[in-house]
Amino acid sequence: MSNQENPRRIMWLHLSRLFLVYLSVAVVRAANAVFIVSIALTYPGLSAATVGQLLAVYSIVEALSGFLCGVIYEVLGLRISLLIASTVLSLSYVAMDVAPSFSYLLIFNALAGLSASMILVSSLSAVAEGTMGISAAKRIFGVGGFEASNLGGYAVGFALAGFLEILGMLRGFMVSSILAFVSIVTSIFITVARSELRTGYKIYQVDRRSLYLVPMWFGMAMILGVGFLSPKILSELKLGVSIPFLANISNSYIGSFEDIGANPSIGLLLILALLGVSLGIMIGSMISAKIGKGRSLILGAVSFPAALITAGFTYENLLLYLPLIIIIAIPALSIPPTLITLLADYTDESRRRGPSSGIYVTVLGIGIGLGEILGGKIFDLYGLKILTILLALLFLILSLPTIIYVNKAKVSILPS
C-alpha cells in the first residue's frame, strides 16, 4: 500500500466507526419528531397551550442538563452513556404510552429530554474524539455528518409519522420507543474509543476558548427555532399549495400533514427543507474545508443575513426566488460544522470533550426555545419582513465576537 493510500484508509476507518454514532443521533431525533405528531392524535382533546407545555418540558430539560450529561460522559464513557440513555429514552416512551394522567406525561417526557441530552452530548464528544488525527478538512466533513444526522433525523421522523398516520397506525408512542430502541442496539456495537483521562484537567472543566463560540452558535440556534415555526408562518401567509391526494385524506381524517401545517403541502415542504439543510451542511463542510474555518465563518455571517432578508422581501413570489435564496444561503450552512470542528480542536489538548459539548447542547436548546417564542410574537405583531430583518441584525451582532476571536487566534484560517 502506498504512502498516499494510508492516510485515506485511516480517514475512512475513522469515519466508518462514527456511522453508528450518526445513526444514534438520527433515530433519537426521529423518535422525537414522531412523538410530536403522535401527541395530537393520541390526545386530541388537549389544547395547543397544553401540548406546548408538554413539548417545552423536553426541550428545557434537554438544554439545562447538557453540562451535567457532559460530566457523566467523562465518568462513564461513550458506550455505557449511550446504552443507559437510550434505554431510559425507549422506556420513557413506553411509560407515556400507558400514562394515566397528564402529570405522568410531563414527568416521562422530561426523562426523555434528559436522555436525549445525554445521547447528543455523548455523540458529539465521540465525533470530536473519533475525528482526531485526520486532516482538518476531513475532520470538518466528519463533524458535518453529526449536524446532518441531527436535522435529517427530524425529517425522517416527520416523514415516517405522516406515512404511518395515513395508514391509521400512529396512535400512542410505541413507534418512538422502537426508534429509541435502535439507539440501544447501536450503542452495543459502537467502537469509538473514549477520551483519554489526562491528568491536570478536571472532569467538569470547560475549555475557555469554546465559550467564544457561544454567541454565534446562539444566533444560529435562534434562527433554527424560528425555522421550526416555518409551517405556521407559511400557512398564515397562505403560501402552501394543495396536494389533492393528501388534502382528501386530511379532510376525512386528522392527518399529520395537517398537524404540521395548515396545508398538507406545507408538511411535505418541512420534510424537504430539513433534508435539504442536512445536505447543505455537508456541502458547507466542503466549503469550510476549502477556504478555512475563519474565512468560512465570515462568509457565513454575510450570506445568512442576506438570505434571510431576501426571503423576507420576496416571500410573495417564494417559488420564483427560492433558487436565489438557496444559492445565497449555502455558504451559511458551513457555520455549524465549522463551529463544532473548532469545539473539537479546542478540546484536543485536554480531551475533556463532555462538559464543552454539554455547553453546545445547552446553547442549542435555549436558542431554539427563544427563537420559537420571540419569533412567533414578532411575526404576529410585525410580519415576516420585520422578523427577517431583526433576525439578520441579531445574527450579525452575535457573530462578531466569535469571528473576531477565531480569526485573531488564527485557528486554521488557511486551507488545510
For 121-156, give one letter per residue: b (16+ CB within 10 A) or e: bbbbbbbbbbbbebebbbbbbbbbbbbbbbbbbbbb
Distance (Å, whole) CA 365 – CA 370: 9
Q: What is the number of other CB atoms lying within 10 angstroms of the CB of residue 62?
A: 28
The list of the chain residues with pLDDT below 50 reads: 1-5, 241-264, 411-416
Q: What is the pLDDT of residue 394?
A: 95
Q: What is the number of other CB atoms lying within 10 angstroms of the CB of residue 382?
A: 12
> Which residues does 9 contact at the CB level (< 8 Å), separation at least 6?
1
Please spell the DSSP secondary structure of 37-50, one letter per residue: HHHHHH-TTS-HHH
Q: What is the pLDDT of residue 258?
A: 42
Name the burial class of residue 235, with classes exposed (0-12), middle (13-18) and buried (19+) by CB atoms within 10 angstroms of its CB: middle
Q: What is the number of other CB atoms lying within 10 angstroms of the CB of residue 242?
A: 12
CATH of the domain spanning 5-191+207-409: 1.20.1250.20
Please spell the DSSP secondary structure of 163-182, one letter per residue: HHHHTT---SSHHHHHHHHH
- Given the C-alpha cell 423518535, which residue does it identify? 31
8-state DSSP, 201: S
| pLDDT tens digits, 380-401 | 888 889 999 999 999 999 999 9
Distance (Å, whole) CA 265 – CA 271: 10
The grid cell for 100 is: 394515566
